[in-house]
């Protein structure tokens, strides 16, 4: 369990300017950094994830009946389909990363030839899945990706998480990595937040409070 993994979260057209429906400011600018990381011998295992939703996914504001729902602004209650007692409020989004659409494709500048495995997540229309490991429900869990099994089989003990978006899928993936027993790091110049101000600060404080370590490209590649 001494191998080191780089997990590149959701570097997809819909999360990047200029045309992404949920474009994160500066999202495309981190690709050169990620490509340099991909070329480094530091990482034994390199995984890219894709947000991969059906058109009727629960995270899309358009799929909620209230006509006043607005993407980015509205919240909705999501209930565990197996347990009505487990629920939480979640932010609603524009339609994004619909399976097999151009918006769901990885950005072409990403050096995919250096990626060992691409893992899709968010296919179950009933649950939001920010984490590349699993949905947020615990009693019971509803959906799990192939990520945990792949990392365990590969002998990974440490994961470095990069990509989009810092306070949503990157954070959830790093937090779940820690829960699964991996040491977890964020490479902070290889990620961008939907809200680079307060959103970034709160997410960083929360992650550091849990034991996730923030590093930068230079500290890894030198
Ligand atoms: C993400 C919002 C909705 C992300 C995915 O990749 O951070 N954010 N779906
Ligand atoms: Zn999504």
> What are the boundaries of each domain within the chain?
3-53+99-221
Q: How far is CA 152 from CA 5, 121, 142, 212, in A?
A: 11, 18, 20, 19
Pocket of ligand 1 (CB under 6 A): 10, 15, 51, 59, 93, 130, 164-165, 168-169
> Is residue 222's pLDDT more than 80?
yes
Radius of gyration for the alpha carbons in the chain, expressed in angstroms and rounded? 17
- The number of angstroms, rounded, from the C-alpha of 110 to the middle of its chain's C-alpha atoms is 16
> What backbone torsions phi and psi does residue 156 show, to the nearest 5 degrees?
-80, 135
How do residues 65-107 score in pLDDT, each as one tens digit?
Answer: 888 899 999 999 999 999 999 999 999 999 999 999 999 999 9
How do residues 161-209 score in pLDDT, each as one tens digit?
Answer: 999 999 999 999 999 999 999 999 999 999 999 999 999 999 999 999 9
CATH 3.40.640.10 fits 3-53+99-221, yes or no: no
SS3 state of residue 94:
coil
Distance CA 206, CA 212 (A): 9
- Measuring from atom 9 of ligand 1, which residue has the nearest CA? 130
| Catalytic residue of the set 51, 158, 169, 192 | 169
Task: Provide the pLDDT for residue 115.
Answer: 98
């Amino acid at each position: 369990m001494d191998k080191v993994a780089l997990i590149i979260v959701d570097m997809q057209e819909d999360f990047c300017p200029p045309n992404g429906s949920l474009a994160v400011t500066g999202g495309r600018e981190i690709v050169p950094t990620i490509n340099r990381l991909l070329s480094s011998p530091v990482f034994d295992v390199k995984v890219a994830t894709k947000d991969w939703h059906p058109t009727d996914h629960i995270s899309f504001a358009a799929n909620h009946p209230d006509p006043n729902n607005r993407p980015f602004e509205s919240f909705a209650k999501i209930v565990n389909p197996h347990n009505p007692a487990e629920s939480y409020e979640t932010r609603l989004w524009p339609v994004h990363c619909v399976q097999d659409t151009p918006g769901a494709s990885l950005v072409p500048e990403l050096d995919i030839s250096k990626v060992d495995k691409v893992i899709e997540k968010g296919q179950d229309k009933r649950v939001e899945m920010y984490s590349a490991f699993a949905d947020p429900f615990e009693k019971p869990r509803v959906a799990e990706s192939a990520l945990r099994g792949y990392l365990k089989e590969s002998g990974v003990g440490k994961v470095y998480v990069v990509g989009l978006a810092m306070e949503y899928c990157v954070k959830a993936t790093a937090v779940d990595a820690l829960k699964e027993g991996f040491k977890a790091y964020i490479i902070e110049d290889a990620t961008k937040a939907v809200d680079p101000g307060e959103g970034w600060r709160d997410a960083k404080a929360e992650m550091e409070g849990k034991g996730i370590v923030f590093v930068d490209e230079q500290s890894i590649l030198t």
